[in-house]
Structure formats: C-alpha cells, structure tokens
Amino acid sequence: MRWTLALLGSLSACTALGPTEADPRRDAGETTVHPEPVRPLPSTSAQAQDSGPASPSPARPPAADAFAQYPWLEGGAAGTPAPVDTLERRFSPPPGFTRVPLAPDGFGAFLRTLPLAAKGTPVKSYRGDEIRADGHPNVAAVVAIDIGKADLQQCADAIIRLHAEWRWSHGHRDQAYRTASGTKLEFQRYASGQRVRVDGNRIELVPSAKRAEPTHALFRTWLDDVFGWTNTGALARDGERVALGALRPGDFFVLTGVPFGHTVLVLDMAKDAAGRRAVLLGQSFVPAQNVHVIRPEPARAWFVIDEASGALTTPFWDPFPFDSIRRLPE
C-alpha cells in the first residue's frame, strides 16, 4: 500500500539513515525536532570587515520581470510570500569584497537573484506557526517560495526544490532524484502515471494513475513525493564532492547522522583582493518551514570563510567540515 502524504508529512528530511533497502522510508523517529542552539561565532579580523548591517534595498522595487524565471510565482502557489526584492539587491557584499562572476544560466545565478519576502517577514512552519520572529539574530531574510501543506520541504528538500525549479525554468522536464534507499524518482515517469509502492522492505514504481500533462502544478506535486522519500544521506551520496577551492553558489554543506543531519546551501559568494571568500547561506529546517537566509550574528549576513579552521560554523548546527561540500549536477 502506498504511504499517504499525511504519513509522509510526519517524516523528516533533515535526518540521515544509510541508503539501505532495509527501511525504504525516510528515517525512523524523524518527528523529533533537533534542538536549535544558537552558537555565537567568534569575531575574527576577516569577519570584522563585514561588521555593518546589510545595505537597505533601493527605494524603487525591482521590475516585474525580475521574478520571471521563478516558476512557482507564475502559478501563485498557496502560501508563497509576496516577492518584493531579490537577494542580490538586498545584500551588498562586505566591505572590500566583490561578487564572483557566474554563468548567467547557471544554478548560482538563479540563486543570486532569488525573490525575497518583505523585510520583517517571520519564518513560519507549513502549518502557519511562527517559528522565528522578525528580529531573530540569525535570520536575515525569508525567500518568497511556498512551503507546501505537509511536513515535507525540510533542509535537504529545499535544496532539491530550488535545483529542480532552476532546471524547470530552463525548460527541462527530466528531473530525477534518488530516495534514501537509492530508487530513482523521475518526473517523466510520474507524469506517465507511475507512483511509489511499498513492497516489503523495498519500494517500486508501478502504473497506478492516469497519464497527465507535465504542468508545473503536477511537477510541484511530484516534488512533494520526492521529499517524502529522500533525506540528507541521499543528498550527500548523490552530490559530487567539491574541494573548498572550487566552492561556488549552488554548492551545499551537508552533515549526515543518525537520527539527524542537516544541510545549508550557498546562495551567493564574494571575494576580496586577498582571495578570501564570503558566502550567503540559506536553509530550511524541521518542521518544514520557509526557506530563509541565515546570519552568523545580528550585524552581518555574510559568512567569511576561515580556511585555517577546517570547517564552516553556522548558528543552527555543528560546524560543517570542508570535506562536506557537495554539488548537484548542472
């Protein structure tokens, strides 16, 4: 019998069970929320150069076509915060840093101009509960993208969502992501009527629905199906390892664990004359909640990477070693 979305809604993507067929579902015990300690980051000379608050947005709002490449906005998905700004416009690089050049059609460029909700928008859960209020010291902005109606679009799922939407915006309809147990879930097969079925300790795809037009609405439904079966372990396994020196927007840091793991996405990057890098980071969390830009501390939105430390320290999770960087195929 196929697992219902109601049941899948109680399972978490911000956890990691090894990719085994012994339990094809997302990790057991995922309804427990990981505590969220806020770790103050040490002030270093590199970080001190980015000590001021984020630059205010220009008085004029961006042109309407600034959001044209973000397909979820066209359909007006329920629960999508109204877009009023872009990531690039709201967050100027730290003093002495310049944004790195990006391929105009790449995933990084797509993230650099993500639509943002109005300043002061709180981070809410899929139920509409306020999780982090306006003024939270480690939240810089809320991305104008819907969460969905179930506890599905968590940390790994948010990265898959943005990657899949970027490919959709460029006309691709062959998106495919693997479950924690390794089964490939393909949008084309979903549109043809194939659905996931549990068979003992395995899952399989069987024809059980009518063929449908590959609309964005169907695509969004398929993504929820993907979210129900993937996790941080699958994301780490399927992402290409990336050296710190090759880091670019669109890459992500991921830590797996039993029962919990977490991942953060590099939304933008800037460099200074000495080659130091500063990054903007985004995440979702448990329960499923607005994708949001995180801050290292109240006065700064950019994380300046300290290569000597061996890890990226963020306020909501353990430090991410530099060998935890991954990249999805482009």
Q: Give the pLDDT confidence of 265-287 residue by residue, as tens digits.
A: 999 999 999 999 999 999 999 99
| Dihedral (Cα; 295, 296, 302, 303), 10-degree rounding | -140
Contact 330, 250 (CB under 8 A): yes
**Total number of domains in the chain:** 1
**pTM for this model (two decimals):** 0.86
Among 39, 11, 5, 16, which residue's Cα sits nearest to residue 254? 16
Supply the pLDDT for residue 60: 61
Supply the pLDDT for residue 64: 62
Give 4 or 220, the one with higher predicted confidence: 220
**How confident is the model over 241-253, as pLDDT tens digits?**
999 999 999 999 9
Q: What is the pLDDT confidence band of residue 202, given thresholds at 50, 70 and 90?
A: confident
Contact 287, 151 (CB under 8 A): yes
Q: Where are the beta strands (DSSP E) in the chain?
A: 85-86, 97-99, 115-116, 123-124, 130-132, 139-142, 176-178, 184-186, 194-199, 202-207, 240-241, 252-255, 262-272, 277-283, 292-294, 303-304, 311-312, 320-321, 325-327
Contact 34, 286 (CB under 8 A): yes
Supply the pLDDT for residue 258: 76
Collect all residues with Cβ–Cβ distance below 8 Å to 47 and sequence separation of at least 6.
Answer: 41, 296, 300, 304
Instruction: Kindly state the tokens that stand for 208.
Output: 């059980």
Q: What is the pLDDT confidence band of residue 15, given thresholds at 50, 70 and 90?
A: low
**pLDDT score of 57 more than 60:** no
- Where helices occur in 16-62 by DSSP H, the ranges are 45-48
Give 153 or 29, the one with higher predicted confidence: 153
Our measurement of the distance from residue 206's CA atom to the centroid of its chain's CA atoms, rounded to an integer in Å, reads 29
- Where helices occur in the chain by DSSP H, the ranges are 5-8, 45-48, 71-74, 87-90, 107-112, 155-169, 187-191, 216-227, 232-238
Residue 84 lies in domain: 5-327
When mean pLDDT is compared across 126-130, 190-194, 196-200, the lowest value belongs to 196-200
Long-range contacts of the stretch 186-190 (C-beta < 8 A, 24+): 187/214, 187/219, 187/222, 188/214, 190/218, 190/222, 190/225
Indicate the average pLDDT of the chain: 85
**How confident is the model over 292-327, as pLDDT tens digits?**
999 999 999 999 999 999 999 999 999 999 999 999
